[in-house]
Amino acid sequence: DIQMTQSPSTLSASVGDRVTITCRASQSISSWLAWYQQKPGKAPKLLIYKASSLESGVPSRFSGSGSGTEFTLTISSLQPDDFATYYCQQYNSSLPLTFGGGTKVEIK
């Protein structure tokens, strides 16, 4: 299985901050990576696919980058609605599909 490791597990930030979350894969997954946002009691919401493609309707302050084994999700200016948990997911050709452990973005 491809292991996905996210860091940090928790992040404290203020409105307006630039926030970066890292996701590392245990082997190369090219650009086959997605990012999701999950709020308490809600289903995950797709933000980014193919490492850097923004899903329709997602604010442009969200961006993704990386390839191979190291990826980042950046929020350019944190908004009150962005406090949530973020997950990465690899969808390389090898199964199973796997998720990172999550990064909780908290209010500082």
Partner 1 sequence: QVQLQESGPGLVKPSETLSLTCTVSGGSISSYYWSWIRQPPGKGLEWIGYIYYSGSTNYNPSLKSRVTISVDTSKNQFSLKLSSVTAADTAVYYCARLPVYYDFWSGWNYYYYMDVWGKGTTVTVSS
Using CB under 8 A, list all residues that contact partner 1.
1, 32, 34, 36, 42-46, 49-50, 55, 87, 89, 91, 95-102
Closest approach of partner 1 to the CB of residue 33, in Å: 8
d(CA 93, CA 82): 31
CA distance 56 to 47: 8
Handedness of CA 22, 27, 33, 39 (dihedral sign): negative
Nearest approach, Cβ of 42 to partner 1 (angstroms)? Answer: 8
Which residues is 11 bridged to in the sheet? 105
Nearest to partner 1 of 50, 108 (CB atom) = 50
| Choice between 37 and 78, CB closer to partner 1 | 37
Nearest to 21 by CA among 69, 70, 57: 70
- The distance of closest approach from Cβ of residue 55 to partner 1 in the complex, given in angstroms and rounded to an integer, is 7
Of 15 and 106, CB closest to partner 1: 106
